[in-house]
Structure 1
Amino acid sequence: MSFFRRWIPDQETLERSRWLAWLAPWLGQPALWVWSRHGVALGVSIGIFFGMLVPVAQIPASAVAAIVLRANLPAAAASTLVSNPVTFAPVYYLAYRLGNMVLEPTAPKSASEKDSEAEQKATELHQTIHGSEKVGFWQGIKMMGKPLMVGLAILAVSGGLLAYVLISLIWSAHQWYKMRSGKE
């Protein structure tokens, strides 16, 4: 736990943040700083949810949610970093693909049909980017936007739920191990 506490911001750091200064009156709540199984699991799940779903102002959004839900605030703020410049492209690509699968369920296609369909979508996207008259810019954004938003929502909810369950299980197993081995 000391490893994580070293990297997670403390109360004073968050109060000095220009994005979170307006939350200073609420940052003194003791429940926001307690390292309990439920508080940390909820904080991480909130952070992952906002980290995946909201492209900007993730930390303030997760801080507000942590205050309202009385989750561990440092865990919520730190776990928003699940989406960062390194993970951004793979996460958004996965979300786009997932959104397409959900929005366009089809019967199994042959490999040539899949290749043809992928080539057509790539051509439409290329034309959108380069301003072709066939597909307008806003139409292209709309084409990409809906599958991307659906995919991001699915990843955000499932990632948050999975994080809560995993942290709760790991925390409980750790506590059980400490109790069994007499290391209390």
Structure 2
Amino acid sequence: MPKKLLKRWIPDPEKIKRQPGLHLLGSLLDDPNLFHLNRHSVSVAFFVGLFCTFIPMPGQMVLAAFMAFVLRSNLPISVGLVWISNPITIPPIFYACYRLGVWMLQAPELEFSIELSWAWVYEEFPKLWIPLVTGSLFCAVFFGCLGYLFIQGFWRWHVVSNWEKRKMARRASKNNDT
């Protein structure tokens, strides 16, 4: 079931390889592990995608794709999960990471307001970045590991459940035959 469900939502690897902007990657996309749907590749993809979700930087999708190449995990899932942090969810996610970083470092919480200007980046961001990065890295590792363990457990539970169903069906058919 997990494999069938994921196949329904993930684009075809050949369609991905034909995307005009991806021809620069050449033979890198030929690695079959980037598109496999098995317990290992999907659980590592969940780690990669959730890890990159909490990294406060532009280009999270590029980072997720690079990590998927290096760790040989499922590329579409790794990149797709990064969209958990989208323009609507980024402010609460990174504010929570900042608060967690302040708590972890026992640092004083600063009063600040965010402005979309270079002046704000140069004047205010240097005061906030250490707690933000600390909280973000903790959340990235924590939620990445949690996603990895959840998929490993869920996949195993589903396989064992299917084995049990098949075993029950064999017993029922054996009882009907006698």
* TMscore range, shorter length: 0.7 to 0.9
Task: Work out which of the residue numbers 94, 102, 105 in structure 1 matches 2:104.
Answer: 102
Task: Find out whether 1:142 has 2:126 as its counterpart.
Answer: yes
1:19 CA drift (Å):
5.5
Report the AA paired with residue 11 of structure 2: P
CA RMSD of aligned residues (A): 2.5
Contact 2:53 2:82 in 1 (8 A): yes
3-state SS of 2:30 partner: coil
TM-score normalised over the length of structure 1? 0.76
Contact 1:103 1:147 in 2 (8 A): yes
Task: Find out whether 1:155 has 2:139 as its counterpart.
Answer: yes
Contact 1:19 1:60 in 2 (8 A): no
Aligned partner of 2:91 in structure 1 is: 89
TM-score normalised over the length of structure 2? 0.78
Contact 2:68 2:75 in 1 (8 A): yes
3-state SS of 2:27 partner: coil
Structure 2: give runs of 5+ residues left out of the alignment. Answer: 170-178
Distance (Å, rounded) in 1 between the aligned partners of 2:87 and 2:79: 17
* Amino-acid identity (%): 30
Aligned partner of 1:170 in structure 2 is: 154
Aligned partner of 1:179 in structure 2 is: 163
Distance (Å, rounded) in 1 between the aligned partners of 2:130 and 2:46: 27
1:16 CA drift (Å):
4.2
Cα separation, partners in 2 of 1:145 and 1:13, compared to 1, 3 Å: farther
Distance (Å, rounded) in 2 between the aligned partners of 1:144 and 1:181: 54
1:58-117, CA deviations, whole angstroms, 9 ceiling, x for partnerless residues?
Answer: 222212211221111121111111211221111011101001001116xxxxxxxxxxx7
1:123-143, CA deviations, whole angstroms, 9 ceiling, x for partnerless residues?
Answer: xx25x96xxxxxx97452122
Contact 1:10 1:74 in 2 (8 A): no
Report the AA paired with residue 30 of structure 1: P
1:19-72, CA deviations, whole angstroms, 9 ceiling, x for partnerless residues?
Answer: 544323111111221111011000111111112215322222212211221111
Aligned partner of 1:31 in structure 2 is: 33
Aligned partner of 1:57 in structure 2 is: 59
Aligned partner of 1:46 in structure 2 is: 48
Structure 1: give runs of 5+ residues left out of the alignment. Answer: 106-116, 130-135
Cα separation, partners in 2 of 1:29 and 1:21, compared to 1, 3 Å: same
Deviates more, 1:174-183 or 1:95-104: 174-183
Distance (Å, rounded) in 2 between the aligned partners of 1:182 and 1:21: 44
3-state SS of 2:29 partner: coil
1:13 CA drift (Å):
4.1
Aligned residues: 162
